[in-house]
Amino acid sequence: MSLLKAALAARENAHAPYSGFAVGAAIRTGSGAVFTGCNVENASYPEGSCAETGAIAAMVGAGARDIAEVCIVADTKAPISPCGGCRQRLAEFAGPDVPVTMATVSGDSVTMRMGELLPMAFRTARGV
Ligand code: THU
């Protein structure tokens, strides 16, 4: 299954009753495994989480750490890009050359590298 198809399938499960804005995300790891996530909103709005955050949690929970490719999808005219917080979360496991494809349900897409989306990602001296 393509990464876009995986992200589209995850998007179908989004819990977005407050914004009405469903997002799907899919991550491929260096070993080829695919993990997906969708946004999960909450009646207490700030407690909601992004699709990328869900996909990262699924990956880490399964013992994987190395992101090789990312795809996110929403039903918009133009592709959406990951929010600032998710850029930092992705950068924890994705190097600057990792491609991030931002797609629409209708088939448009743009691909940028992680380092373009988040130059100078924050890392501590203890970063792994
Ligand atoms: N959202 C994501 O899931 N990923 C992003 O990169 C941007 C925003 C979600 C959060 C919220 O549930 C909805 O989209 C509207 O902001």
Q: What local confidence, expressed as pLDDT, does residue 127 receive?
A: 61
Q: Is the C-beta atom of 52 inside 6 A of ligand 1?
A: yes
Ligand 1 probe mutation, 18, 39, 52, most atoms within 8 A of CB = 39
Q: What local confidence, expressed as pLDDT, does residue 124 receive?
A: 85
Element (H, E) at 9: helix 3-11
Q: What local confidence, expressed as pLDDT, does residue 39 receive?
A: 98
- One-letter amino acid at 70 equals V
Q: What local confidence, expressed as pLDDT, does residue 128 receive?
A: 57
d(CA 27, CA 7): 9
Q: Is the C-beta atom of 48 inside 6 A of ligand 1?
A: yes
- One-letter amino acid at 25 equals A
d(CA 109, CA 101): 7
Helix/strand/coil for 51: helix
Average pLDDT per 10 consecutive residues for the chain, totaling 128 residues:
94 98 98 98 98 98 98 98 98 98 97 97 78
Give catalytic status of residue 69 as yes or no.
no
Kindly list the structural domains of the chain, giving each domain's residue range(s) and its CATH number in brackets, ordered by start: 3-117 (3.40.140.10)
- End-to-end Cα separation, the chain, in angstroms: 30
The rounded Å distance from CA 59 to ligand 1 centre is 19
